[in-house]
Amino acid sequence: MDELRIHIITYNVATRSPEGNITELLGINEKESKLSLPDFYLIGLQEVKSQPQNCVLDAIFSDPWTNAIRNVLVKYGYVKAKTVRLVGIILSMFCLRKHIIHLRDMQNICTRTGLMGLWGNKGGVSQRLQIYGCSICFINCHLAAHDHLQQERIADYNQILHHQKFKSTEATSILFHDYVFWFGDVNFRLENENNLSADTIIQHINDNNFLSLLKYDQLKSAMVTGEAFSELVEPDITFPPTYKYMFHSNEYDINRRPGWTDRILYKVNANVYENVTLDSTPHVYKAIDNFTCSDHRPVMAIFTIKVFSNYAERVVKFLPIQSWYTNQENTATCMMGADVDPKIWDWVGVFKENFTSLDEYQGFIYLANNSTDAASEALPNNIRSGDKIELRFYENIIRTPGKYRLLYFSQDSGSVLGMSGPFHLQNRFEDNNVQRAHLDW
């Protein structure tokens, strides 16, 4: 089997804008080899500024945090595969470009738990997918706050767990996936037993006596009783409580009792395949101490997971594309894999060569555009699995000369079935000038 390296970050940004060294937040050492970079980044944010005007702009342009993170990651060959937002809760998935054509059956669900499920200031967002033969589900959550609302947090967890149902033949629920990673501001605090005051907690922290505090941790108690998160595992905590700090300070706010509110947990269904044992290994689990713009500290974890070697499914291959020209119809040819089930509303997007997000298409056509009857439910030109087809792109689908690629998406946009090599779009007169110069020579 092969391994994928997954880097997860959860951060309650307390409505603050990005500041500080984002590269440091992402754990990237600019001197390291690109071979050591993770295959996937999963970024879970909470309390992103969520006034109506922010949400409208972010829906169009992405929120400032996601943009700042993307601006760093694109330098290392990452593409933003998906971002899902519920008010101030945001989950973004980035992957190395080489994995793009292996993304299958991506789906996301949002669950509101605030104000009895009417408001999304609290809740959870998920992103699930199939890749290299394995199913993975990521959940970013923000659960009920305040020390005394333990039962509300437990109820939030169970509401998210039971509400989220996926359109999948096998992994219809969160815990049915081969791998599950659940993270966020879970807001579980320390039980106030024996008058465990803020001063007492801070004294234990200064003495690095975390074990004495963790025995009062509400999340671990809920896991033991089976009320919440009992299906998951958490790596050992060896870092100080992540809440509540003074802003721009390494000092705790003594008006609140510190606690480990920001957590990353995981689950592996290890024996779901015959003669194969899946595995997820945590390598790092820590807080990022010097990122101080919020009253929380970011928490990160790095895992490796086992996936199937040389696994490919539902692949559409593009034949090499010669130059395209502006102001005329252009074509491309692709081969349908034997297991591809083409649909009339499958679509092919035109992307810049070095696109940084799957949302960045410059134009697109549906497979139906190759049919004389686009309203028909029949497949265009009777396309079937294993066929070679010619795709026609109407003139001026893109107008700016440059280098581009084509990406083939399933009709629900949940799978990227194929990606072409780069090709050049040029003005027709450019080609004529080249030919004229050649003849003059």
pLDDT tens, residue by residue, 89-129: 999 999 999 999 999 999 999 999 976 555 568 999 999 99
**Token match 């929120």: residue?**
63
Query: Does 373 have pLDDT greater than 60?
Result: no
Query: How would residue 428 be classed by pLDDT, with cut points 50, 70 and 90?
Result: confident
**Residue of higher predicted confidence among 235 and 275:** 235
Query: Does 169 have pLDDT greater than 50?
Result: yes
C-alpha distances (whole Å) from 288 to each of 4, 50, 82, 259, 291 are 23, 24, 25, 15, 6
pLDDT value at residue 168: 85
pLDDT value at residue 30: 65
C-alpha distances (whole Å) from 11 to each of 28, 249, 284, 296 are 17, 16, 16, 7
Yes or no: domain 316-426 corresponds to CATH 1.10.3720.10? no
123 in Cβ contact with 108 (< 8 Å): no
Determine which helix (DSSP H) or strand (DSSP E) holds 73, and give its type and residue range.
Answer: helix 64-73
List where CATH 2.60.40.2840 sits in the chain.
316-426
Strands 388-393 and 104-114 turn out to be unpaired
pLDDT value at residue 369: 78
CA distance 34 to 367: 37
Query: Does 182 have pLDDT greater than 70?
Result: yes
pLDDT value at residue 31: 63
Query: Does 275 have pLDDT greater than 70?
Result: yes
In this prediction, residues 286-309 reach a mean pLDDT of 96
In this prediction, residues 342-348 reach a mean pLDDT of 94
39 in Cβ contact with 99 (< 8 Å): yes
Query: How would residue 378 be classed by pLDDT, with cut points 50, 70 and 90?
Result: low
Number of Cβ within a 10 Å radius of residue 428: 11
Query: How would residue 376 be classed by pLDDT, with cut points 50, 70 and 90?
Result: very low
Query: Does 72 have pLDDT greater than 80?
Result: yes
CA distance 415 to 102: 8
Number of Cβ within a 10 Å radius of residue 327: 10
Query: How would residue 385 be classed by pLDDT, with cut points 50, 70 and 90?
Result: low
Class of 2-307 per CATH? Answer: alpha beta
The one-letter amino acid at 124: G
Q: What is the mean pLDDT of the chain?
A: 90
In this prediction, residues 54-64 reach a mean pLDDT of 59
The one-letter amino acid at 109: I
pLDDT value at residue 61: 52
pLDDT value at residue 135: 98
14: left (phi over 0), alpha (psi -120 to 50) or beta: left
In this prediction, residues 417-433 reach a mean pLDDT of 83
